[in-house]
Amino acid sequence: MKRWSFIGGLTVTLLLLLAMGGFGVIVTRDLTTDVERIIAGNYDAIRHVRELRAGLMRINTRYLHGKSTGQLPAGQGTFDVESAGIRARIDAMRRASALPGEVELVDRVETLADDYVRHYRQLFFVGPRDAARFTTLSDAIARGTEDITQLTQELVELNERAIFARRDAAAARGRRFGWLALGIAGFSLVVYLYTSVRLTRGVFAPLRRLRDSIQQLRERRFDAVAPVEGGEELAQIAGAFNRMAGELRAYVAESDQRATEASRTSRAILEALPYPVYIADADYAVQLMNPRAERLSAALQIPGALPGAVRKCIDDAAALGCELVGDDLRRAVELPESGEAGAPVPTYLPQVFRMAPAPGAPAGWAVLLVDVTQLRQFDQAKTKAISTLGHEVKTPVTSIRMTLHLLLEEKIGPLTADQRELVAAGRDDCERLLTVLQALLELARFESGRVPMKPVPTPPAELLAQAEAMHGSYVRGSEATVMTEGEVAALPPVLADPLHVVRVLGNFVSNAIKYRVPDTPVTLRAERRADGFVRLSVRNRTARPLSEAEQMKIFDPFYRRPEEQREGAGLGLTICREIALAHGGRVGVFCDGGQVDFYLDLRIAAAAAGHAAG
Amino acid sequence: MPPVEQASAARVARVLVVDDEASIRLGCVLALRSAGWRADGEGSARSALGRLTEGPPVYDAVVLDYAMPDLDGLALAAALPPHGRPPILLASAHGDGAAALAALRLGVWDLLAKPLVPEDLRRRVARRVRRGAAARARPTGLEAVLRQCNRCAWEEARAVLDATDDLSAECAALLRGLLYQVTGDVARARAAWPEARWWPGWERQGTEIWAELARRLG
């Protein structure tokens, strides 16, 4: 309905303005016609009177000039011309006469003019010879002139009155038209104001309220309702908006319900977890923690906060640019709660995950502290047992070895053939035992984290060059060709402790030399991987390819391939794996037909640093 | 090499073995005696210190264990003045980079890697106790440099190293690097390692650095 009142208001205003314009045109045309009439009738009459008078004046001036002296100019040419002009003017005046009484006046002027002409003719006839007659006629001419002037003046006044009357009538009409136009303008203004108010109330105000409702929705105030008002169309929009808001409200309520349930479930899981769980933002501020974590922080005298050692783990994860998960006990942290004396120090293995504390918030961290107190005790006991036993056994074994070597030299005394064979067998066992002991002790040192490891950014080319340069010391007297393949100089620096990494590569190289097809080269290679690692690998050709099962087990302690000679301790590759793990890297083997690749993956230093900075 | 024949013209060389492990000490003494030298055993660094400092110097070489309970081999070596002491051969199964560097700085460049075998022991001792004709003979380049190093005479050692021409480039680079390292010129030492094909990490390397040095200088 609003639409009709709006259109109606506009139409009325338009019609009024059109009517006013049309009326104005008519009034202007009438006025023009009046002016034309005045000019055609009245003004022409006045002009003829003026010319008539001028004609009389010219005749009188010429011929009555010598009246007093009793003289008359010779010739009547001027008179004949002027008197004919006077006659023509009177005819024209008669033709132009339109006013009441004007024709009578013209008739009278004609009569006087006839007398005037006749008197002049008599005057010309008499001439100055008859002075008395000349004077009488001159006086009659003067009187006639005066009468004509009097009468024509009346004619002029009559026409002037007519002009003034027409002017006054036009002015009155103009005034009326002005009032009418003012009235129409006022009425149009009223209609315009009325339409504007209706439009503002009926369209703009509801639209504004609808906009406010949408704004409320945008501010997630889902109880917003748009008033159903205004015209039909606006009411339809408001209705549609309210239906949409209602659906949105229902959806949000449902989502809230689901989120609440999910939150309740996760809280229940968190609470049920026997391990402390912290969820922190990027600035280490704890956003969520389970009761076990609350107890831990309280026991550490830092209620509600992350323990320092855990922060350090997050820093490590950030520096490495990855999540820290796994069962490597060397990453375990001790968090001594004030408990009973003599009890083992609670030890946790932090599992660090990336996680946003709230939807849309910047990524923070979730830390699950797996309690490994007992596990680490066992592990430490095992490592210590191996270490102690190793050292305790090693000293007597070395002295037995010395003794057996001395006896076999027979410088102290001769041996029988059987004795020599027995002692030689004992010496060989001793050698093997020592090799195994040394490797075991070393592995125990790596496992207990007592081997200092300092990864620094190192170009892969440098690591390969060192490994290539040192291959002579891995397999003494070897004639093998060891060479580096590919463009390794362009690779980015990796995080590596060169001493240990070169040792890993050396181990791979010595194995490659040992197991290669004779007279084939051993190649060192390096390539960038897609996951932020650089792969350093040692390749050789082999006559005995590794099966998949063998590839899985080859890094396990004491693993030997079937029918392999018992040489070394069987721990070399295990130590390599330990070194790789300590670098946050990985080792592996890849066998494709007759070609074997042992590889070590190390993290790209720039990627790790970039992530930490970010 | 048969050192007993070389030493027969002069006084028999006398060697002191210092090790807290009785069986190893006995083994070493027997190994040396069977080569014709006079060898004595001592079970602790303190008693060895007494034997070496009291009375006139009688020993031509000391085989010293690095790890001993009362006083370790390095401390004993440090207690003896480098010019008056007999040549010291320091043996260790656990010596790491820091221990090796400390020994080198004390002028102890004869490093032995345990476990020892009699033949190696005799060869290394023989190099330090040559006498008579053998001693007068022109020493090898390595021996000439090590002789100066054992006196902590670093400048002289460097001069001898520059003058000698019977060393492989690898061995010469190693000696040059070690000399720079013990005199604190770490940057130059580092520059020498690629030619020596060796990259020692003194603070971080495990026991293998000792074994590697013993092998390369032995």
Q: What DSSP line would sit under A373-385, residue for residue? A: HHHHHHHHHHHHH
Q: Coil, strand, or helix at residue A170?
A: helix
Angle at A46 between CA A51 and CA A59, to 5 degrees: 20
Interface predicted TM-score of the whole assembly (ipTM), two decimals? 0.85
Tokens of A585: 């890297």
Burial class (CB in 10 A: 0-12, 13-18, 19+), A227: middle
A14/A5 Cα distance (integer angstroms): 14
Which residues in chain B have Cβ-Cβ distances shorter than 8 Å to A398? 24, 93, 114-116
For A271-289, give the DSSP string: HH-SS-EEEE-TTS-EEEE
Q: Looking at residue B8, what is its pLDDT?
A: 47
Q: Coil, strand, or helix at residue A603?
A: strand
Within 232-291 of A, beta carbons closer than 8 Å to B belong to none
Find out whether B86 and B57 touch, Cβ atoms under 8 Å: yes
Q: Looking at residue B133, what is its pLDDT?
A: 58
A131/A267 Cα distance (integer angstroms): 152
CA dihedral sign of residues A470, A473, A474, A477 = positive
Cβ <8 Å between A399 and B27: yes
Of A107-116, A223-232, B5-14, B104-113, the range with the lowest mean pLDDT is: B5-14
Residues paired with B18 in a beta bridge: B42, B64
Strands A533-541 and A522-528: antiparallel
Among A406, A445, A466, select the one facing B118 at the smallest CB separation. Answer: A406
Q: Coil, strand, or helix at residue A395?
A: helix
- Please state the separation of Cα A306 from the chain's center in Å: 37
Chain B interface, Cβ < 8 Å to A: 21, 23-24, 27-28, 30-31, 34-35, 93, 114-119, 194, 197-199, 201, 203-206, 212
A428 touches B: beta carbon within 8 Å: no
Cβ neighbours of residue A586 under 8 Å, at least 6 residues apart? A533, A580, A600, A601
CA dihedral sign of residues B117, B119, B122, B123 = negative
A585/A30 Cα distance (integer angstroms): 108
Among A400, A452, A473, select the one facing B204 at the smallest CB separation. Answer: A452
Q: What is the mean pLDDT of chain B?
A: 87
Q: Looking at residue A483, what is its pLDDT?
A: 85
A441 touches B: beta carbon within 8 Å: no
Residue at A456: amino acid letter: V
A38/A289 Cα distance (integer angstroms): 108
Which residues in chain A have Cβ-Cβ distances shorter than 8 Å to B119? 405, 409
CA dihedral sign of residues A176, A179, A183, A189 = positive
Q: Is the pLDDT of residue B106 over 90?
A: yes
A403 touches B: beta carbon within 8 Å: yes
Tokens of A452: 């200092």
* 3-state class percentages of chain A: helix first, strand second, coil last, to nearest 5: 65, 10, 25
Residues paired with A527 in a beta bridge: A535
Q: Coil, strand, or helix at residue A18?
A: helix
B217/B122 Cα distance (integer angstroms): 15
Find out whether A307 and A296 touch, Cβ atoms under 8 Å: yes
Find out whether A508 and A579 touch, Cβ atoms under 8 Å: no
Which residues in chain A have Cβ-Cβ distances shorter than 8 Å to B201? 497-499
Task: State how far residue A413 is from chain B, nearest Cα, in angstroms.
Answer: 10
For B21-41, give the DSSP string: -HHHHHHHHHHHHTTT-EEEE
Q: Identify the residue whose tokens are 């027995």.
A: A422
Cβ <8 Å between B118 and A402: yes
Closest CA to B6 of B36, B31, B26, B40: B36
A300/A21 Cα distance (integer angstroms): 95
| Residue B115 preceded by cis peptide, ω within 30 | yes
Find out whether A145 and A116 touch, Cβ atoms under 8 Å: yes
Cβ <8 Å between B24 and A394: no
Task: State how far residue A447 is from chain B, nearest Cα, in angstroms.
Answer: 14
Cβ <8 Å between B116 and A453: no
A107/A582 Cα distance (integer angstroms): 143
Task: State how far residue B71 is from chain A, nearest Cα, in angstroms.
Answer: 19
List phi, psi (to 5°) of A429: -60, -40
Among B21, B30, B114, select the one facing A412 at the smallest CB separation. Answer: B30
- Please state the separation of Cα A571 from the chain's center in Å: 59
Cβ <8 Å between A411 and B197: no
Residue at B57: amino acid letter: P
B77/A548 Cα distance (integer angstroms): 55
Highest mean pLDDT among A178-192, B118-132, B180-194: B180-194
Residue at A520: amino acid letter: T
Which residues in chain B have Cβ-Cβ distances shorter than 8 Å to A469? 194, 197
Of A135-149, A268-282, B101-115, B197-211, the range with the lowest mean pLDDT is: B197-211
Question: What's the pLDDT tens digit per position in A359-390?
Answer: 667 778 889 999 998 888 888 888 888 888 88
Which regions in chain A score pLDDT beneath 70? 1-3, 66-70, 230-231, 320-321, 338-340, 357-360, 472-478, 565-566, 606-614
Closest CA to A331 of A345, A314, A349: A349
Q: Identify the residue whose tokens are 């002017």.
A: A167
The percent of residues in chain B predicted with pLDDT above 70, rounded, is 93
Cβ neighbours of residue A577 under 8 Å, at least 6 residues apart? A555, A587
Burial A56-79 (b: 16+ CB within 10 A, else e): beebbeebbeebeeeebeeeeeeb
Q: Is the pLDDT of residue B14 over 90?
A: yes
